[in-house]
Structure 1
Amino acid sequence: MRAALSFPTRPPRAALFALAASVLAHAALLGGGRARDAAARPARAVEVAWLAPPAVPVALPEPAPPALPMAQARSQRLNPRPPVPAVDAPAATPDAPLLRLAGPASWRYRLRQGGQDGEALLEWRPEADGRYSLRLTRRIGERALPAQESLGRTGNAGLAPERFALQRGGQDRQAINFDAEGRRISFSASPARLDLPEGAQDRLSWWLQLAAMVQAAPTPGGRWRVWVAGVRGELREWVFEAVDAEPAGGGTLHLRRQPLGPYDPGIELWLDPARGYWPVRLRQGDPETRGFEITLADVNS
Structure 2
Amino acid sequence: MINDTTRGRHRAPGRHNPLSELKLLARESAQPALKAGALVAATGGLVAGFANPASADSLSPAAAKAAGANAAVAPQGAPAAVGPAAAAAPAASTALSKIGFAPAAQQATAQRVATSKPQVIQDVQLQAQRAAAQAAAAKAAAAKAAAERQAAAQRASRDLTRSTLTNSTSTTKSGSNGYTPGASAGMRASHNWATAGQCTWGALNQWYQSEGYYPGGWTGNAMAWASGARSAGYTVSSTPRTRSIIVMQPGVAGSSSVGHVGWVTAVNGNQVTIIEMNATAGPYNYDTRTVTLSGGMSFIYAP
TM-score (normalised: structure 1)? 0.29
Structure having the higher helix fraction is 2
Structure having the higher strand fraction is 1
Larger radius of gyration: 2
